[in-house]
Amino acid sequence: MALLRYQRDSFVAKVDGLTDEQARRVLVPSGTTLLWLTKHLAYAEQIWICQRFAGQDVELDGEVGVDDTIGDAVAAYQTVWPVVDAIVAASPMDTEMPDPNGGPVPISLRWIIGHLLEEVARHAGHADIIRELIDGQTAW
């Protein structure tokens, strides 16, 4: 979990100091924005750990609304972390669940954590590029 925590902090550092206008800027053909990436990462952790793995009924919000701010999105993402961390800490890594995509092989909590680590790291790389295009800033 230490590496996932590091990647989370790294991502947040990449969006730190942005205005809402900057966080909404579309600079790549896919339409990806830093605000969307932030909301998406909170959504990913909630859907994989809270909903799919732990079976919790959680309100998922991955879409960017007109009133969303980067500050609120970061705060919401950070609020998810202790919830996810507590679920993970309470569960053996070899605990399995059915593949949510209908695959024949169950997936383990270890696999889910690896997937989330990859997801956060990949999107942190996207954030690096988008942030540099916005204002020339680069972060660890």
N residues, the chain: 140
Domains of the chain, first to last: 2-135 (1.20.120.450)
Residue-level pLDDT at 100: 87
Mean pLDDT in residue range 88-117: 93
Reduced 3-state DSSP string for 5-71: HHHHHHHHHHHCCCCHHHHHCCCCCCCCCHHHHHHHHHHHHHHHHHHHHCCCCCCCCCCCCCCCCHH
The 10s digit of each residue's pLDDT in 36-84 is 999 999 999 999 999 999 999 988 888 999 999 999 999 999 999 999 9
The 10s digit of each residue's pLDDT in 21-30 is 999 999 999 9
Q: What is the pTM of this model?
A: 0.93
Q: Tell whether the torsion through CA atoms of 10, 46, 26 and 18 is positive or negative.
A: negative
